[in-house]
Amino acid sequence: MKRIGHYVDGSLVDGGDRVGPVWNPATGEQSGEVALASAGELDTAVSAAEKALPGWRATSLAKRQEIMFRFRQIVTDRKEELARIITSEHGKVVSDAAGEVTRGLENVDYCTNLMHHLKGEYSEQVASGVDVHSVRQPLGVVACITPFNFPAMIPLWMATTAIACGNTVILKPSERDPSAGLWIAERFAEAGLPAGVLNVVNGDVETVNAILDHDGISAVSFVGSTPIAETIYRRSAENGKRVQALGGAKNHMVVMPDADLDAAADAAVSAAYGSAGERCMAVSVAVAVGEIADDLVAKIADRMPQLKIGDGTDPESEMGPLITQAARDRVAGYVTGAEGEGATVVVDGTKKEFDGNGFFIGVSLVDHVKPGMKVYEDEIFGPVLSVVRVDSYAEAVDLINANQFANGVAVFTRDGKTARQFEFDIEVGMVGVNVPIPVPIGTFSFGGWKRSLFGDTHMYGAEGFNFYTRRKVVTTRWPEPSESQISLGFPTH
Q: What is the dihedral of CA 112, 118, 124, 127, to 10 degrees?
A: 170
232: helix, strand or coil:
helix
Determine contact, residues 48/233, Cβ cutoff 8 Å. no
- Residue 241's region, left for phi above 0, alpha for psi from -120 to 50, else beta, is beta
Q: Closest Cα to residue 199, out of 186, 211, 180?
A: 186
Determine contact, residues 252/409, Cβ cutoff 8 Å. yes
CA–CA distance, 170 with 197 (Å, rounded to integer) = 8
Side-chain half-sphere CA neighbours of 333 within 13 A = 11
Specify the pairing of strand 453-454 against strand 364-367: unpaired
Side-chain half-sphere CA neighbours of 454 within 13 A = 24
CA–CA distance, 10 with 347 (Å, rounded to integer) = 50
Q: Which helix (H) or strand (E) holds 433?
A: strand 430-433
Active site residue 111: no
Residues in Cβ contact with 171 at an 8 Å cutoff, skipping those fewer than 6 apart: 143, 144, 146, 155, 158, 159, 181, 184, 185, 198, 199, 200, 201
CA–CA distance, 143 with 159 (Å, rounded to integer) = 8
Catalytic hit among 111, 144, 165, 280? 280
Beta partners for 135?
472
CA–CA distance, 117 with 300 (Å, rounded to integer) = 44
- Which residues are catalytically annotated? 280
